[in-house]
A and B are shown apart, each in its own frame.
Chain A
Amino acid sequence: MNSGKMGAAGLDQEIGYNPILTATVKNEQGVRDVGTLSEYSLQGSVKDEFVEDVKNRLRGLCDNVECEPFIDHEISYSLQSSSGNAVTMRVSRSLAQSKMPWQLKYVGALETGKNKSCLMRNQVTVGCSENVTSFLTELGFRADTEFLSKGYLYRKGRIKVVLSKLCKMKEPGQHQEQNLLPLTKSHLVEVSVTTLTGGEDPGPDLKHFAEMLKPQVKLTKVDHREIQSHTRPNF
């Protein structure tokens, strides 16, 4: 075999693989990333003693499949620049399905404009290996909060409905039942649709679904920044 010829020919040929092109789409304004999705949501809560009513209601409203129980462990990490700007990343993993990859999630600022019918925030979710926590710590991120979300997932078409109880752990990393402390006396109810950024607004669909859940749950645009700025006991 003539190695010289083969080598020269091999290097001149185009490989036909370019991960940058597969990961991004170029437009006139430059490179636009396609990994960013927009999550539209409405949120509400229900007292623990009325959860069964909500479950029954959701069973009737949602797709005719069994709801999916889940237990997710979530840790949020933040990084602050010298100019005072901060970025928050969330790391979550499923405790119910231990073989699922961990997730690294960026969640953008909440948009609650008056002309919007529901909450909107940009997000990028990436599946990753389990050492993501040590990677973030090495990079300079600091762990902020840690909690456990335990509940059920329902679906109606593209609408995702989450009925969950938020708990904190008595000791970090100890997520056994006896080490969990409920954060509130109520369950969180969240209906959401995730679409490509810039796509059609699914707000009317969510509003319609929220109407059907009344009066058991009142789903609204909850601006967390307002809640954080007001001291509310037992919240």
Chain B
Amino acid sequence: MGVTVVFQWELVDGQTHQQAIQELHGRINNTGAVQEGKFYYESKFYQASDSATTRDFYTLKTSEYPVTVFARVDDSTKDKNSCIQCDSPMESLLVKLREFFTPKRTFEIRGTRFKLADFWIRPGIVTSSGSNKCVTIEIEYTPSYFADDCWPLFSELGSYILNRQIDDKPPTLMENNKQFNPGMMVQQYVEIFSRKATTQANFQQPMKQEQIQAYNTQM
């Protein structure tokens, strides 16, 4: 595992999620990445029965770490390290807490995994209750644990794949030479799951045509 950043793809007018993922596959193929199997994520949202004294939380399971369950309190405070890693019997333990925390929603992400040198790229569609919610692209750079060190690489690859300029600084939770841990990946997914469909704003404008051409010539 290395630094992992999750981006959300902004759908252009009239574009379906399937079309978006096909476009993404095309762009990823153009970078020279090769397809290496599938990936799967499943997240459950547990709602506290008494919101005055207890908090909601998410669990996340993934095909990348098949015997591990991640759990994180539904909290927007990014500095807090409240994501725990557990062995898979955690599911059985949560059954015992059903009176206090009930599973309300399930989110799934399925897709094809690509490998480009030291990068893993995982584009997938987020589904919940059978309907498509959004498209995510996870980029992992395996040799580094510090986002500040490798952000220019992320910036270059991410900008091309996403067809938009991405931030020139790593996400806030990885800034200031914080060592990457799997909880940071979980937090990024939880933020996407908890984001309402109407707040797909805060995205920067897509690259202008001349920027794309300049970028393609560099590649």
Contact = CB atoms under 8 A, between A and B. Distances in A.
Contacts of A179: none
Interface stretch (B86-94, B148-156, B211-219): B86-94
Contact of A140 (B55, B83, B85): B55
B112 interface: yes
A138 B75 contact: yes
Interface string A167-201: 00000000000000000000000000000000000
A71 B87 CA distance: 22
B21 A11 contact: yes
Interface stretch (A129-137, A156-164, A204-212): A129-137
Contacts of A79: 54, 100
Contacts of A16: 38
A124 B21 CA distance: 40
Contact of A134 (B57, B82, B92, B93): B82
Interface in A17-67: 17-20, 22-24, 33-36
A9 B69 CA distance: 29
A3 B121 CA distance: 15
Contacts of B81: 131, 134
Interface residues of A, number: 44
Residue among A6, A24, A125 having the largest count of chain B Cβ atoms under 10 Å: A6
A7 B73 CA distance: 34
Contact of B89 (A20, A35, A81, A140): A35
Interface in B64-92: 66, 69, 71, 73, 75, 80-92
Nearest to B72: A135
A94 to B, nearest CB: 16
Interface in B39-60: 39-40, 42, 48-50, 53-55, 57
Given A11-B21, A11-B112, A140-B53, A36 B92 contact: yes
B88 A124 contact: no
Contacts of A125: 89
B115 interface: no
Nearest to A130: B84
A18 B28 CA distance: 26
Contacts of A108: 96
Given A7-B21, A33-B91, A15 B38 contact: yes
A7 B111 CA distance: 9
A38 B42 CA distance: 29
A229 interface: no
B99 A81 contact: yes
A3 B42 contact: no
A85 B53 CA distance: 14
B29 A3 contact: yes
B73 A35 contact: no
Given A19-B66, A22-B88, A135-B84, A87 B93 contact: no
A153 B42 CA distance: 39
A138 B73 contact: yes
B40 A17 contact: yes
A130 to B, nearest CB: 9
B133 interface: no
A64 to B, nearest CB: 31
Contacts of A139: 48, 54-55, 57, 73, 101
Interface of A: 1, 3-4, 6-8, 10-11, 13, 15-20, 22-24, 33-36, 79, 81-82, 85, 87, 101, 104, 106, 108, 124-129, 131-132, 134-135, 138-140
Given A35-B89, A79-B54, A81-B99, 9 more contacts: A1-B29, A3-B29, A17-B40, A20-B42, A22-B88, A81-B100, A87-B96, A104-B93, A128-B86
Interface of B: 18, 21-22, 24-30, 35, 38-40, 42, 48-50, 53-55, 57, 61, 63, 66, 69, 71, 73, 75, 80-93, 95-97, 99-101, 110-112, 125
20 contacts: A3-B29, A4-B26, A6-B29, A6-B112, A7-B26, A11-B18, A11-B111, A11-B112, A11-B125, A17-B40, A18-B40, A33-B91, A33-B92, A35-B90, A35-B93, A81-B49, A82-B53, A126-B90, A128-B87, A135-B83
